[in-house]
Amino acid sequence: MADGARVLVVDDDQDMLHLIGMRLGAAGYRVTEAESAEAALACFRKSRPQMVLTDLRMGQMDGLALFEHIQREAPTMPVIILTAHGTIPDAVSATRRGVFGFLTKPFNGQELLRRVADAIKVSPVLDPLNSSAFWRQDLITASIRMEDLLRQALKIGEERRTALFIGPRGSGKETLARAVQRAGPRIDKPFVAVSCTDFPASELEQLLVAGDPNSLFANASGGMLYLQDIGALPPIAQSRLFQVLFAQMQAKDPLARLQSNTQKNKVPDVQVIASSPRPLDSAVAEGGFRSDLFYLLSGMTLMIPSLGERSEDIPLLANHFLSQLYPQKQFTLSPDALLALQEGSWPGNVRQLKNVLEQAAELSLTSMISDTAVRRVMRESEEGDLAAFDDARREFERDYLVRLLQTTAGNVSQAARVAQRNRTEFYKLLARHGLDPISFKQKFR
């Protein structure tokens, strides 16, 4: 059953375009037709379909180029390529790039319907205006970009996959991780969240010892371990996390399991989600983060947009937070107050928006929150962010020192020379940030 699934069909041959559209429409699909790849992209960005069926040979932009554009914007979107010029090399090239299917004209009608139905099965419907689905109830959005991200999150939860979330602070990475757990079979199991910046290196190393009854893996057994600020994980702790993730990967491969001793040593039954406020590529290139660990974590990487990148969500989020924070008072925002929120820059993202609304509501003498209250709190919030410059500088300074010690394997003399500081001053810097150079002398293992 098609159940009204949305399909975008693209072909520069109008007769073929209408024929496919009629066939899919008769099967119960909601079809949007586009006569060029350029027109298809406009349709795609306006209203996301659940799959795309496109001709290969078209005018300025062909089907593979269209697929590449779609894949960059919506990595999980299934695309089927249809062509009268189908060859084995074309099919191999398309499938290697991640194209869902490849069919040749003249097509068999039943085969076409079967392949479209298969594509729809892996592209779940997510209504961006409907937050009633339990697993994503805390993720309020009307953003097409967020809808694509939620499709990927749903897949991570259902398949219990390891993943890496990249996004600015306050953008909701932990909220998304909790949603992933609710979307999968681990819903009633523990959720353990740990920031890698909150523990000394030696303590983190011990917490990641598989088999230790007091480890994070033991506390999260059967559930999810969420590691925030994974880039700050010290070298030995990185090694121990890698060992667990590698053992989990082997345990899923019957052949590898037969060739290893993973059956002798029980692999922790924990889904690991890691997050970072910035991409880890530079840390990997500089040697501060293990490339093999990065490979295991980044198989599924979700890029979380800032609030400024999905400003259409601000009205929904504002009303949600007010009803959540003050369920009895029924606060509403004046039109000017809502406009003020939409004009904000929001460097603190969703977290900052929630804080501003809470403070504005406390200042309001009536159930209608005025733009005066909103603008006052927003101004104070922005001034607070500026006042936190020293905190940002300290964070940057610590990250720099960590990378420097990792690169020099804890050699203080060498690190001080690179930093252009004398040894005494450099030791003071390390002490200020609680960094022990000895812990960096042990190489990755």
pLDDT score recorded for residue 68:
86
Residue 126 lies in a domain: no
**Beta strands 271-276; 163-166: pairing state:** parallel
**296 and 208 part of one domain:** yes
Closest CA to 170 of 304, 282, 272, 281: 304
pLDDT higher for 94 or 122?
Answer: 122
**402 and 427 part of one domain:** yes
pLDDT score recorded for residue 391:
56
pLDDT score recorded for residue 29:
93
pLDDT at 69 over 60: yes
The enclosing domain of 382 has a CATH number of 1.10.8.60
Structure tokens at 222: 């059967």
* Mean pLDDT of the chain, nearest integer: 84
Residue 145 lies in a domain: yes
**73 and 112 part of one domain:** yes
pLDDT score recorded for residue 397:
78
**What is the rounded average pLDDT of the residues 421-442?**
79
**319 and 376 part of one domain:** yes
pLDDT score recorded for residue 96:
64
**What is the rounded average pLDDT of the residues 213-221?**
95
pLDDT score recorded for residue 354:
92
**What is the rounded average pLDDT of the residues 418-432?**
84
Please, which contacts does 108-113 make with residues 24 or more away whose CB atoms are closer than 8 Å? 109/23, 112/20, 112/23, 112/82, 113/23, 113/24, 113/27
pLDDT score recorded for residue 199:
84
| Confidence band of 131 (pLDDT split at 50, 70, 90) | very low
Question: 114-128, 276-290, 310-324, 369-383: which range is least confident on average?
Answer: 114-128
Structural domain total, the chain: 4
pLDDT score recorded for residue 125:
62
pLDDT score recorded for residue 263:
47
pTM over 0.95: no
pLDDT score recorded for residue 280:
93
**178 and 273 part of one domain:** yes
**95 and 34 part of one domain:** yes
**289 and 366 part of one domain:** no
| Confidence band of 386 (pLDDT split at 50, 70, 90) | very low
The enclosing domain of 54 has a CATH number of 3.40.50.2300
Using the 3D structure, point to which of 342, 359, 387 is the last residue of a domain: 387
**193 and 296 part of one domain:** yes
pLDDT at 175 over 50: yes
**195 and 339 part of one domain:** no
pLDDT score recorded for residue 142:
77
pLDDT score recorded for residue 264:
45
pLDDT higher for 21 or 429?
Answer: 21
Residue pair 78/98 in contact by the 8 Å Cβ criterion? no
**295 and 155 part of one domain:** yes
Alpha helices in 27-127 (DSSP H): 37-46, 63-73, 88-96, 109-121
Q: What is the C-alpha to C-alpha distance for residues 166 and 12, in angstroms, rounded to an integer? A: 38
322, containing H or E segment? helix 314-325
**What is the rounded average pLDDT of the residues 355-372?**
88
pLDDT higher for 137 or 245?
Answer: 245
The string of DSSP letters for 117-185 reads HHHHHTS----TT---SGGGTT-----HHHHHHHHHHHHHHHHT--EEEE--TTS-HHHHHHHHHHHST
Using the 3D structure, point to which of 121, 155, 174 is the last residue of a domain: 121
pLDDT at 101 over 90: no
**What is the rounded average pLDDT of the residues 229-237?**
92
**166 and 285 part of one domain:** yes
Using the 3D structure, point to which of 94, 121, 148 is the last residue of a domain: 121
Q: How many residues does the chain have?
A: 445
Structure tokens at 230: 């994974």
Residue 204 lies in a domain: yes
**What is the rounded average pLDDT of the residues 310-335?**
87
pLDDT score recorded for residue 84:
72
**Hey, what amino acid is at 185?**
P
Closest CA to 235 of 33, 39, 49, 441: 441
pLDDT higher for 2 or 413?
Answer: 413
**36 and 98 part of one domain:** yes
Q: What is the C-alpha to C-alpha distance for residues 249 and 7, in angstroms, rounded to an integer? A: 35
pLDDT at 95 over 70: no
Residue 95 lies in a domain: yes
**What is the rounded average pLDDT of the residues 90-113?**
77
Which residue range(s) make up the domain with 426? 390-440
Residue 103 lies in a domain: yes
pLDDT score recorded for residue 224:
97
Closest CA to 290 of 191, 208, 406: 406
| Confidence band of 86 (pLDDT split at 50, 70, 90) | low
Question: 46-55, 138-147, 393-402: which range is least confident on average?
Answer: 393-402
Residue 281 lies in a domain: yes
**What is the rounded average pLDDT of the residues 182-188?**
91
* Cis-peptide into 106, omega within 30 deg: yes
- The pLDDT tens digits for 250-298 are 887 765 554 555 444 578 999 999 999 999 998 898 888 999 999 999 9
Residue 129 lies in a domain: no
pLDDT at 445 over 50: no
Residue 445 lies in a domain: no
Strands, E assignment, 199-329: 224-228, 271-276, 301-303
How large a percentage of the chain has pLDDT more than 70? 87
